[in-house]
Amino acid sequence: MDLNNIKRFYFIGIGGIGMSALARYFKAKGFAVAGYDKTPSPLTGELEAEGIAIHFEDLGSQIPAEYQDTDSTLVVYTPAIPKTMGELVYVQQHHRVLKRSEVLGLITQTSKGLGVAGTHVKTTTSTMLAYVLSQSHQKCSAFLGGISSNFNSNVLVNAAADYSVIEADEFDRSFLRLKPYASIITAMDPDHLDIYGTAESFIEGFQEYADKHSDGHLLIYKYGLPLRQTGFRGISYGINEPDAQVYGTGLNYKAGRFFMNIHFGEEVWEEVALGLPGIHNAENALAVATMCKELGLSEAEIRSGLAHFKGVKRRFEYHVRTEKRIYIDDYAHHPTEIAALVSSVRLLYPDKKITGIFQPHLFSRTRDFELGFVQELAKLDEAIIMPIYPAREEPIPGVTSDELVRKIGGKASLKTPEQVCEYVASVHEGVILTIGAGDIDRIVPELKKIIERN
């Protein structure tokens, strides 16, 4: 599709993290932008403050008058919107309509798209990549799945840059619509089985994405992933994996900072400072350093970017950090992500009680990975489980938070958001974690106030 005739963009589901990034991008480019979302949020409030008109009721055929012009308006929607939603049904009958991933695909045709794919840590990795590039002589634009603490935004616009960093999302097979110049793949643990059906089909979806890098295009991937070599130029990475082409050693924590050595074959960069703690973030840094080195950044540029990277909101985000009380909020919503979160917290605070407040995301994911959730949440000293956040799904009989609590055992309890706040008010020391991808973030400001008040 040629975007030259488009003057207005209308987003259905504009409050989503990926959709809002596109909305901000086109607003910065001078287009008129408006849209719908189900409920107000801090993010929709920021968009409105930036001059984007948003409404929160389904208007059906009565969308704003200026966006009724089908010749100059492009409608963008997210697959998270129910197919029966009135506005979506109307625009699909009258307008040019594209999924968010298809619009990203168009953008990758006009720039050198750097994709970051993976079941886990793709948001942190893509944001880290965008930050390191933005601080170098190369520069970039970026479309991110979270709010960068460095940029305080989920989008970076640089019209003169050759590169665009794009979070390549596997949900709904969206990443297969991209045309990447080069990519990173961080993980391939099966997820979204409501979309893919089987673990084998999920892994094959990633293989299809890897195949887009044939003809010698660069693909950087975590060592051990089950990928078939199909013509891409592959570079593997891993922590303490000497058989990987790039690997890290000597991960250590001193004076409040994490450091590691990076081995590029015979070339070794010693004591590279990392802005974020944890083994998984060291792996992210390996992938980013490898990509940036391949793109021509200097060692000094890469070291500086990694050291000053502040992370992503809701990814191991500290809200309170005192001697007695620690409060960290994290987006983890898959057993593997919870395992990485809890192990990192144990490494940092081995003598403190760790209480995790977890909101399961989707009935289907809770069903498909119930055993993993039980196993990882049981590693907490105390596990508080909130009701399942349904998103786009209807309830599944027998799949409940009560069942998770029963299987975890005595250290687990079920609490509503209001009961969570009451409980946290009674806690005077230790580590509190809020964990999940639903709307658990709505109680984060209140929990922070409570903990600080205590």
pLDDT tens string 69-121: 999 999 999 988 888 999 999 999 999 999 988 888 888 777 899 999 999 88
- Give the residue, 281 or 270, on which the prediction is more confident: 270
Q: What's the CA angle centered on 336, arms 206 and 219, to 5 degrees?
A: 30
**Picking from 337-346, 405-414, 426-435, which range would have the lowest pLDDT averaged per residue?**
337-346
Q: Report whether pLDDT(244) > 80.
A: yes
Distance (Å, rounded) from C-alpha 36 to C-alpha 9?
A: 12
Q: Mean pLDDT in the chain?
A: 92
1 in helix, strand or coil?
Answer: coil
pTM more than 0.85 = no
DSSP line for 212-229: TTTTT-EEEEETT-----
Digit-coded pLDDT (tens) for 312-362 = 888 888 999 999 999 999 999 999 989 989 998 998 899 999 999 999 999
Asked if residue 215 lies in contact with residue 223, where contact means CB atoms within 8 angstroms, the answer is: no
CA distance linking residue 49 with residue 317, whole number of Å:
24
- Judge whether 73 and 10 are in contact, CB under 8 Å: yes
- Residues 292, 133 contacting (CB under 8 angstroms): yes
285-313 pLDDT, tens digit each: 999 999 999 999 999 999 999 999 998 88
At 247-269, the pLDDT tens digits run: 999 998 887 788 999 999 999 99
Instruction: Point out which residues pair with 32 in neighbouring strands.
Output: 8
Count CB-CB contacts under 10 A for residue 11: 27
